[in-house]
Chains A and B, each alone.
Chain A
Amino acid sequence: MRLRNRTKGQLPAPARLALRWLCFFLLVILTASCSTAPGWDFLSYSLIPLSLAVAVFSEEIPSAILGGLAGLAADVVMDQLAGFTALYLCLASGLISAMFRQLLRKNLIGYMACVVILTAGYLYADYFFYYGIWELEGRLIALEKKLLPSALWAVATAPALFYLIRLTVRLTETKRTLEIEGADDKIDRV
């Protein structure tokens, strides 16, 4: 029996990997851009579960890089200090990736627990640094009308993102096949 890394007609492994990361990158761009469309600003926090879903199925360093880029995009669309969300998502994605590669199973429950904790953490940081410490009048209104709905939407759509990323990874995985060589008639069988 001989193991082959791919069947004929499949893309080579580096091309599949490049395609996978291109899909992830385009998803980040699309989510960030759609969050600036009128009435769609609740999508702004969806970059968090998206980055974490990628981190669950990928290695640590690429996950951290994509997390950082997604964070930069989020900073631009939310008019926040560039690097604020990037720093948070870069570190979170890298650590989550390491946790799922070494400790946790790659299932929805573990992923959702991480999404809830990290989204809540980001919500607190966003509220504290942009509204709380300045003691802006009406800051609770901003929390109620903008920040909280975005966070809740991000958690609600996280399962869909998890399965979407899992599907993308499976479709771009290198498939392994077995080939059984023809029997040699001269060998005596006992």
Chain B
Amino acid sequence: MKEFFTSKKFKIILALCALFAGVMLYAALSGQNGVSSAVGAVLSPVQRVSSSISSWVSSRLDMLINAGDYYEENKRLREELARLTAELADYISVKQENEQLREMVGLAGTDTGMEFSEPCTVIGRTANDLFGSFFIDKGAKDGISEMDPVVTKDGLVGFVTEVQYTYSLVTPIMSNELSIGVFCVRTGETGVSSGSLELAADGVFSVLYLPLDCQLEEGDILVTSGYSGLVPGGLVVGRITSLAKDASGLSNTGYAAPAIDSAGLKKVYVIVDFDGKGEGFEAQE
């Protein structure tokens, strides 16, 4: 065995290790990596197939195992639907009044000029990630760039945090890497979203810097403020689940569940451009 360490083979192995160390250094310093891009391009087609098969098997097993739960949930949702239908009548009259007020004051439309990518398929999830980040089948060649918001029709999912040529990595809003300005639709109070591993395990994220006298209640809807220039305003982010006084005693901290459960996503859209992109506080800094 001692001879092995002085042999040519060991020196070649050390050279290979040096090569991989160089790849690691390059990836760390440049933030981009053609090697990852190439490996991902090979893995993507197989990921897509294995993801489809796994989803199909999981859905069949889920139907069998959880039939009772689905029956109860169906009953509960029917009752909620009846309640919401009654509220809809009020909503329509308020909306009409709002439109009339807009005409009177001469407000511009709320269209933020969003430009969407082609529908992106979720081809796989990052292994061993509590935040639930996932890969999509669109990359730099499709016009995706870093920190583009990712949405579905129900609201904001997260942001693109890594872009390769043929695929991208999306990090959900619950991640500790992301923070955005949010405000409550009902009360207008603002805060900053923040995630952690502990909260992600419970499926929530925190909303920091809420005023001590905030009027938020459980169920209040949070939307993006749009002030950062990273994401258009008005996208649904989540719902408040609870409130607590911050450790400093100077503000309140809210806890919110994301509007979208990233674990069940199959298709998403990336907002590649919108009015006011890059013009927020971060851009000015």
Q: Residues of A with Cβ closer than 8 Å to B?
A: 29-30, 32-41, 43-44, 60-61, 64-65, 68, 71-73, 75-79, 81-84, 86-87, 90-91, 94-95, 98-99, 102-103, 131, 136-139, 141-142, 145-147, 150
Quick one: which of B13, B33, B46, B263 has the most chain A CB within 10 A?
B13
Closest chain B residue to A149, Cβ basis: B128
**Minimal beta-carbon separation of A100 from chain B (angstroms):** 11
Known contacts A61-B9, A86-B20, A87-B21; 16 further A-B pairs (Cβ under 8 A):
A29-B46, A30-B50, A33-B47, A38-B51, A60-B9, A61-B12, A73-B43, A78-B129, A79-B129, A82-B27, A87-B17, A99-B1, A137-B176, A137-B197, A141-B130, A146-B130
For B284, list chain A residues within 8 Å (CB): none
> When A and B form their complex, what is the total count of cross-chain residue pairs whose Cβ atoms lie within 8 Å?
169
Inter-chain CA distance A40–B197, complex, in Å, is 20
Residues of A within 8 A of B27 (CB): 81-83
A–B Cβ pairs within 8 angstroms, 10 of them: A29-B46, A32-B43, A33-B49, A36-B47, A41-B128, A41-B129, A64-B16, A83-B20, A83-B35, A137-B198
Contact status of A145 and B43, CB under 8 A, knowing A34-B50, A39-B54:
no
- Residue contact B54 to A37, C-beta cutoff 8 Å: yes
Q: Please give the distance in Å from B146's CB to the nearest CB on chain A.
A: 14
Which of A34, A40, A79 has the most C-beta atoms of chain B within 10 angstroms of its own C-beta? A79
- Nearest neighbor of B197 in chain A, beta-carbon distance: A138
Does B172 sit within 8 A of A, measured CB to CB? Answer: no
CB pair B4–A98 under 8 Å, yes or no, is yes
Q: Which of B119-151 contact A (CB under 8 A)?
A: 123-130, 133, 135
Q: Which residues of B contact A137 (CB under 8 A)?
A: 176, 196-198
Selected from A41, A75, A136, the residue in CB contact (under 8 A) with B196 is A136
A136 near B43: Cβ-Cβ < 8 Å: no
Residues from chain B with a CB closer than 8 A to the CB of A73 are 39, 43
4 tightest A-B CB contacts, nearest first: A36-B124, A83-B24, A138-B197, A138-B198
Set A61, A75, A78, A131: member contacting B13, Cβ < 8 A: A61
Q: List chain B residues, Cβ under 8 A from A81.
A: 24, 27-28
For the complex, give the distance between the alpha carbons of A35 and B10 in Å.
Answer: 32
B23 neighbours in A (Cβ, 8 Å): 72, 82-83, 86
B263 and A38 within 8 A (CB): yes
> Contact at A36–B128, with CB atoms within 8 Å?
no
Closest to A89 in B: B20
Supposing A32-B43, A38-B263, A79-B169 touch, asked if A91 and B13 sit within 8 A by C-beta, the answer is yes
Residue of B nearest to A64 (CB): B13
Are A141 and B162 CB-contacts (below 8 A) given A39-B58, A78-B127?
no
A137 (CB) vs chain B CBs: closest residue: B196
Residues in A neighbouring B22, C-beta threshold 8 A: 83
Q: How far is the CA of A78 from the CA of B172 in the complex (A)?
A: 15
In this assembly, does B55 line the interface, its C-beta being within 8 Å of a C-beta of chain A? yes
Q: Is B201 an interface residue (CB 8 A)?
A: yes
Q: Please, which residues of chain B bring their CB within 8 A of the CB of A36?
A: 43, 47, 50-51, 123-127, 135
Q: Which residue of A lies closest to B4 (CB)?
A: A98
- B101 sits at the interface (CB 8 A): no
